[in-house]
Amino acid sequence: MCELLGMSANVPTDICFSFSGLIERGGRTGPHRDGWGITIYEGKGCRSFKDPLPSCESKIAELVKSYPMKSCAVISHIRQANRGAVKLENTHPFIREMWGRNWTFAHNGQLSGYKNQLTVQKHLPIGTTDSELAFCWLLDQVTQQYPSKPSNMAVVFRYVAKLCGHLRQLGIYNMLLSDGVYVLGYCTNNLHWITRKAPFGKATLIDSDWVIDFNKETGPDDVVTVIATQPLTQDEKWHKLVEGEYVLFKHGNLVSTGLT
């Protein structure tokens, strides 16, 4: 299986601390050696870095870890391949344009019998993974349901969560999706989240000895939510989602949750 990492914040925040914990699992403390990627939003634009090499050995991952790019929305992924060869085009996260925004998707799990059920017309996959096809199917379904961009984007993400209920019937389907404003998480079996806000404290990564004092790194009004397959810190309380549960965040705050 793969592992996911997402962030939603109300002020531009770097992901260096959490990303440093994640990339250790990409071949050093975990088996996810088949590539990694991260998308970091900046306004309507985004920076995307990918590498089919293990994240613990990647010079590109080392750059991202050491370069504090600040963002209000981030999606990241480390891969243990089960569908599709270990190639750059099969490396998550995947990005497509819809309604003039970059949409980013990453998936943890494995689907079966999906090719006949997930037919696409407009949004076509580039690689050969079940994950990218599921993403393209989601976008096709959304554009069919909403021919033009709705004024309330939260409605769109709740509709996506409903569609995720169908994908969950095809196998293990944990995923993250963002348009740079909202961040949606959906769980089949493993997804956790934590919101950090004042009063801030210290946290220690599980996969390294890095300890951070968020009180020194944040402002009193900052709200930062991190979503991960497995908790990344050993001294904080993470919330575990149940099967079929989704969470939707905007600017670090939970705006919707439910079961599908």
Is-contact 174 107, C-beta < 8 A?
Answer: yes
Rg (CA), the chain: 17
Our answer to whether residue 2 is catalytic in this structure is yes
Catalytic, out of 2, 46, 72, 164: 2
Strand ranges across the sheet with 101-108: 94-98, 101-108, 174-178, 182-186, 245-250, 253-259
Find, among 82, 83, 38, the residue nearest to 58 by Cα: 38
Residues recognised as catalytic = 2
